[in-house]
């Protein structure tokens, strides 16, 4: 029987790694990094906020953005990761997914994956492991009950 091709997607709001499990650990298949990950808020938006005019007098007021620019950038990055996974699914590049992300990114990822890709999610782990080296990931997955020595063993947290 053929073993299912499982992708482990470790992401946050600015970095993502797509990993596959080998007998000796994990190998990175793809890496996605946000172009704006290290920018300050002032560098993400325009130089000055828009202005509004007071109708009763000549006062001008700055208009605040509707949303924090860092949050919007993180949400856009997670959308990019979801689109990458959706496209890879249409090319049949994996059979199962294990999603690992902090709460905000995992929630966004769950909402932006299409239905066929969502059906392939084997497990979800609400944790930020983006800075953990590949050699140390197996311990985190085993401690969470997601992966044993031969691969995924449980479907803990499979509900979006």
CATH code, domain with 84:
3.30.420.60
User: What rounded mean pLDDT belongs to the chain?
Assistant: 79
High-pLDDT (> 90) share of the chain, %: 48
141 versus 42: the higher-pLDDT residue is 141
Q: Is residue 48 domain-resident?
A: no
Q: Is residue 73 domain-resident?
A: yes
Average pLDDT for 86-114: 95
What sign does the dihedral 26-30-33-34 (CA atoms) show? negative
Query: Among 111, 125, 31, 118, which residue's Cα sits nearest to residue 75?
Result: 111
**What is the DSSP pairing of strand 60-62 with strand 96-101?**
unpaired
Identify the bridge partners of residue 97 per DSSP, sorted by sequence position: 7, 121
- Report how far residue 80's alpha carbon sits from residue 85's, in angstroms, rounded to the nearest whole number: 9
84 versus 41: the higher-pLDDT residue is 84
**What is the DSSP pairing of strand 6-11 with strand 96-101?**
parallel
Average pLDDT for 76-102: 95
Q: How many distinct structural domains can be found in the chain?
A: 1
132 versus 68: the higher-pLDDT residue is 132
Residue 115 has pLDDT above 70, yes or no: yes
Q: What are the strands, taking DSSP E only, across the chain?
A: 6-11, 15-22, 25-33, 51-53, 60-62, 96-101, 121-126, 147-148, 151-152
Return the pLDDT at 65: 53
Average pLDDT for 15-25: 91
Q: Is residue 51 domain-resident?
A: no
- Give me 158's structure tokens: 């499979």
Q: Is residue 119 domain-resident?
A: yes
Cβ–Cβ under 8 Å, residues 17 and 130: yes
- Report how far residue 15's alpha carbon sits from residue 155's, in angstroms, rounded to the nearest whole number: 24
Q: Is residue 61 domain-resident?
A: no
Q: Is residue 32 domain-resident?
A: yes
Return the pLDDT at 36: 62
Q: Is residue 50 domain-resident?
A: no
Lowest mean pLDDT among 2-6, 117-121, 148-152: 148-152
Structural domain including 107 reads: 6-36+69-152
Q: Is residue 54 domain-resident?
A: no
Return the pLDDT at 61: 53
């Amino acid at each position: 029987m053929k073993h299912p091709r499982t992708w482990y997607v470790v992401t946050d709001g600015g970095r993502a790694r797509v990993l596959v499990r080998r007998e000796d650990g994990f190998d990175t298949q793809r890496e996605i990094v946000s172009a704006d990950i290290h920018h300050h808020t002032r560098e993400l938006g325009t130089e000055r906020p828009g202005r509004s005019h007071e109708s009763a007098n000549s006062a001008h007021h700055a208009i605040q953005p509707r949303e924090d620019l860092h949050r919007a950038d993180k949400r856009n990055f997670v959308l990019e990761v979801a689109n990458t996974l959706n496209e890879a699914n249409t090319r049949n590049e994996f059979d199962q997914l294990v999603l690992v992300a902090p709460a905000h990114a995992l929630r966004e990822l769950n909402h932006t994956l299409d239905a066929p890709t969502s059906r392939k999610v084997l497990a979800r782990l609400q944790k930020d492991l983006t800075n953990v080296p590949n050699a140390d990931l197996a311990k985190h997955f085993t401690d969470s009950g997601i992966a044993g020595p031969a691969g995924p063993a449980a479907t803990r947290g499979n509900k979006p």
